[in-house]
Amino acid sequence: MPAREYHEALWESLPPGLDPPRPAARERFLLAHVHTGERVLDLGCGEGSFAAALTRAGAQVLCADVAEEPLRRARAANPGLETTLIEPEGDWPLADASFDAVWAGEVIEHVADVARWLSELRRVLRPHGALLLSTPAHGGLELLRLALSPRAREQHLDPRSDHLRLYTASALHALIADFGFEQIELRVLGSRIDALRGEGRTLLLSALRSRF
């Protein structure tokens, strides 16, 4: 199945109105790093809830996704949002250095060609522009729970899942640094108890695109 058809089918299988993980905490993180008047790319925007929050805060937001269904839902829920469809495996129809910030919430774990994705992301950011992202955490406690629970392990590692990659804080930091970002800051949303209960924790990362 071609990548575009896969993503369209995946979105059409999901009911509308799903809440993203820890929405309030992620929104606070996002708004703390974006300023009024800045041009922001919401990459993998889903149904547009974070884009709407950014717009209310005075940012100029472009919603981008690899399927038309989430963009349709985003426009329906938030009329007036600017949207664009990007290729899952190709160049993005966006100009170099055209954004002050890129927000990718719960996206990088779904990306097959991470090198190409990060290269395109860096290309569209202006020098010293902000990369802001979140992804599920896979630290020691999460891995311990999976090691001790065969059922949880089988569910988590289901080969039919659309989560293609697992990230620890150190691995994510190293990856982002390798692609020309600096002043990288990472923190974890959620408690140790959350991790052991299987409720999941979330990595939040902020970084600045280096000038060269």
Say if residue 183 is exposed, middle or buried (CB neighbours under 10 Å; 0-12, 13-18, 19+): exposed
CB 55 within 8 A of CB 76: no
Active site positions, annotated? 106
Tell me the whole-structure pTM to 2 decimals: 0.92
Q: 74 — phi, psi (to 5°)?
A: -60, -45
What is the pLDDT, as a whole number, of residue 17?
Answer: 87
Q: Output 67-76 pairs: Cβ under 8 A, ≥24 positions apart.
A: 67/4, 67/7, 67/8, 67/10, 67/11, 68/8, 69/8, 69/11, 69/12, 70/11, 70/45, 70/46, 71/45, 73/16, 73/46, 73/47, 73/48, 74/45, 74/46, 74/47, 74/48, 75/48
What is the pLDDT, as a whole number, of residue 88?
Answer: 83
Tokens of 149: 């629970």
Tell me the domain boundaries of the chain.
3-9+21-209
CB 123 within 8 A of CB 96: yes
State how far the Cα of 49 lies from the Cα of 184, in Å rounded to an integer.
25
- Non-local (6+) Cβ contacts of 103 within 8 A are 30, 34, 40, 41, 42, 43, 50, 54, 132, 133
DSSP H helices, 78-148, are 114-124, 140-148
User: Digits of tens for pLDDT over the chain (212 positions)?
Assistant: 678 888 888 888 889 988 878 899 999 999 999 999 999 999 999 999 999 999 999 999 999 999 999 999 999 999 999 999 998 888 999 999 999 999 999 999 999 999 999 999 999 999 999 999 999 998 887 877 777 778 877 877 777 777 788 899 999 999 999 999 999 999 999 888 887 788 889 999 999 999 88
What is the pLDDT, as a whole number, of residue 196?
Answer: 77
What is the pLDDT, as a whole number, of residue 144?
Answer: 74
Residues counted in the chain: 212
CATH superfamily of 3-9+21-209: Vaccinia Virus protein VP39 (3.40.50.150)
- Neighbouring-strand partners of residue 102: 41, 131
CB 138 within 8 A of CB 201: no
